[in-house]
Structure 1
């Protein structure tokens, strides 16, 4: 396990103490981690400082979605935390994404975090898109549209389902990053996500980075489960 491992572990814990205890207890040193709303809203920047002291690459998953000026100012503050990846909702539009990118450049003291935008949440399916959002496009086509919009606005990549990664790569180019949640080990429950895949399948579909959560954090042996995900990713080429 090292900084080159492209698998971010979602630290979906209520408190920072629980998150840090989990990582320490399971000897998951320096692995990439994702900090979402639940943990960041409880602990604030302090949890980022703690993780950085332990040399964890960090994806700060706050999904900003507001008027461009507000997002710009928020990103200036987040850039100062020196995380690796931050995100916005693509549904905020091109001007908001451009403002986010400018805010990151203005606020970064060192390396500028990668900016990725969320296309469609993995909890959504075709029925939700058509009924709740009243969107006539098919889900995959709409996700691709949002990815193209994001690229034109300066984003470095998108959060998308593994099932949309290949078409997004085809539309936006191989260098456009695809970060895919909804990763489950074989035999794991899907929980509240619909468009899911195993690490090996996600890699074949064109994912650059994976986000895995409950398949690891709820496992009897979390370290072994995380290592299994890493091995599935690494061994994919040998299994073709």
Structure 2
């Protein structure tokens, strides 16, 4: 990494909750232990984009995880609207036309655009079923190269893909990874995972964690434990 980040800023807590009230209650419980939040599909469709703007206005960083993919003009205009919310990060699917459109849409704003390579819930069988001849590793590599060529800021990738991503695209190209599970945590629907320390050592800039924090008896303590693990791994 070319910048030194506070370990707290390297943890993004996914607010994968059904209502804005639930999300606001979780933000209150986490307090100053968390500085960065992700708002995805579920919460977005329940009023979460308004919450994203409020969180940004309150000094939090917000990752809007909409994984946009449409015709170029639509993606460009949608990206411009998300930037107006004050979001720090927006995701789009890592297809060349979509990447280029999002890069154009964020022009003039500080928002970062990240391309989603291969979902962490996909393995080789899922990639094949989707119609790709290449395996997950080759597909990720191709999409990282295309993201760099399109001029976006980085990618979303599984922690198991980080080493390959960093061989192609060292910092300051961003690598943000979901699929992070503390040792002993349930995997859920994730297939390509790592612990926080493993992901940081492999080259992740930021980690996205939801269920291990949201479902913890003490979410703040769970978040603080992950931040401590990040700090120790970063050295």
Query: Same fold by TM-score, threshold 0.5 exceeded?
Result: yes
TM-score (norm 1): 0.91
Q: Superposed, which structure 2 residues align to 1:15-30 within 5 Å? A: 15-28=19-32
Could you tell me how far apart the structure 2 residues matched to 1:81 and 1:34 are? Answer: 14
Equivalenced residues, count? 231
Q: Superposed, which structure 2 residues align to 1:160-199 within 5 Å? A: 160-199=157-196
Structure 1 counterpart of 2:66, from 46, 58, 62: 62
- 1:54 Cα shift? 3.0
Is the 8 Å Cα contact of residues 63 and 118 (structure 1) preserved in structure 2? yes
- 1:44 Cα shift? 4.7
- 1:42 Cα shift? 1.2
CA RMSD of aligned residues (A): 1.8
Give the 4+ runs in structure 1 shifted more than 3 A.
none
Q: Over residues 86-108 of structure 1, what are the superposed CA-to-partner deviations in whole Å (9 max), with x where a residue is unaligned?
A: 01001xx2222111111111xx5
- Residue 217 of structure 2: aligned partner: 220
Could you tell me how far apart the structure 1 residues matched to 2:125 and 2:93 are? Answer: 20
Does residue 208 of structure 2 align to residue 211 of structure 1?
yes
- 1:55 Cα shift? 1.8
Q: Over residues 20-76 of structure 1, what are the superposed CA-to-partner deviations in whole Å (9 max), with x where a residue is unaligned?
A: 111213434652100111111110532112212432111110000101111011111
Structure 2 counterpart of 1:233, from 209, 230, 233: 230
Question: Greater RCO between the two (CA within 8 Å, min separation 6)?
Answer: 2
Structure 1 pair 210–30 and aligned structure 2 pair: CA distance change class (3 A): closer
User: Mean Cα displacement is larger for which, 5-14 or 172-181?
Assistant: 172-181
Could you tell me how far apart the structure 2 residues matched to 1:25 and 1:117 are? Answer: 31
TM-score (norm 2): 0.93
Could you tell me how far apart the structure 1 residues matched to 2:27 and 2:125 are? Answer: 38
Q: Which runs of 5+ in 1 are unaligned?
A: none
User: Mean Cα displacement is larger for which, 30-39 or 57-66?
Assistant: 30-39
- 1:112 Cα shift? 2.3
Is the 8 Å Cα contact of residues 113 and 154 (structure 2) preserved in structure 1? yes
- 1:3 Cα shift? 8.5
Is the 8 Å Cα contact of residues 179 and 193 (structure 2) preserved in structure 1? yes
- Residue 3 of structure 2: aligned partner: none
Is the 8 Å Cα contact of residues 30 and 55 (structure 1) preserved in structure 2? no
Could you tell me how far apart the structure 1 residues matched to 2:7 and 2:182 are? Answer: 21
- Residue 96 of structure 2: aligned partner: 94
Q: Over residues 101-124 of structure 1, what are the superposed CA-to-partner deviations in whole Å (9 max), with x where a residue is unaligned?
A: 11111xx5xx42001000000000
* SS of aligned partner of 2:9: coil
- Residue 114 of structure 1: aligned partner: 112
Is the 8 Å Cα contact of residues 200 and 234 (structure 2) preserved in structure 1? no
